[in-house]
Amino acid sequence: MSHTSTLVTGAHFAYIAQRTQPDDDFLIALKKAAAAAGIPPIWVAPEQIAFMGILLRLVGARRVVEVGTLAGYSAIGMARALPADGKLSTIELSPKHAAFAREWVAKSDVANRVEVLEGGGADHLPHFADGSIDAVFLDADKASYPEYLREGMRLLRPGGLMMADNAFAFGQLFDQHPTDREAPAVRRFNDFVPTVAGLDAVIVPIGDGLWVGVKREPAKPLPQPALE
């Protein structure tokens, strides 16, 4: 049996983007205001939001944790995929980004589903209880991803969803001398993920490469043979 893959090019990315529902007026306004406030436009792509929203619905997510809020774009996008009583906690180190995100979350249609926690991922993640979270999205400092992943695996319930952005290292995955200082950390993380026990994960070529994984359910004990 032959095994073929199609080379995904910039044209494919554009094709996918053109066939994804665009940002609504609120998210367009959020991005404009973020740019005016000097916040860099490093949010995920709309097609990633669409894909992550589908995954969140498929796992029936009610509790989500994100590390890396920026302006609140992905937090609002993901929260829209949760039920009305769902809750997304998003963690942001920069006080400026956290304040901006809080302001825009408050104005959004999912204000009651999103809380912005100011501080580092390593400070906040330990406060979530074991197995209490349905989905985790990592989109912050890449050097800390292995630590965030270990914490994420602790707080995810079995069958929970793990996602991490930038597996393609800002387009510099194969560069011999990457200019982005986080590219080497991304490569190390990409090598680390397949070694993590209890996680089934794959890089999906969408946006800048999205790790998508599921925390394995514990193996069920084999039925005991009936005694004669």
* Residues at the interface with ligand SAM (CB under 6 A): 42-44, 67-70, 73-74, 91-94, 97, 120-121, 139-141, 144
Exposed e or buried b for every residue in 54-74, given b needs 16+ CB within 10 A? ebbeeeebbbbbbbbbbbbbb
Q: Residue 171 or residue 194: which is nearer to ligand SAM going by CB?
A: 171
Half-sphere exposure of 207 (CA within 13 A, CB side): 23
SS3 103: helix
CB of 158 to ligand SAM, least distance (A): 25
- Give how far Cα 167 sits from Cα of 55, 75, 184, 221, Å: 18, 19, 11, 36
CB of 178 to ligand SAM, least distance (A): 17
CB of 196 to ligand SAM, least distance (A): 20
Q: Residue 89 or residue 144: which is nearer to ligand SAM going by CB?
A: 144
Q: What are the structure tokens assigned to 4, written together?
A: 């073929």
Torsion sign over Cα 148, 144, 119, 72: negative
Q: Residue 68 or residue 213: which is nearer to ligand SAM going by CB?
A: 68
CB of 156 to ligand SAM, least distance (A): 18
- Helix (H) or strand (E) holding 162, with range, is strand 156-165
Of 66, 63, 29, nearest in space to 48 by CA: 66
CB of 149 to ligand SAM, least distance (A): 14
Of 167, 223, 163, nearest in space to 199 by CA: 163
Sheet of strand 210-215: strand arrangement? 114-118, 87-92, 63-67, 133-138, 156-165, 210-215, 199-204
CB of 108 to ligand SAM, least distance (A): 13
Q: Residue 38 or residue 218: which is nearer to ligand SAM going by CB?
A: 38
Q: Residue 134 or residue 139: which is nearer to ligand SAM going by CB?
A: 139
Q: Residue 86 or residue 121: which is nearer to ligand SAM going by CB?
A: 121
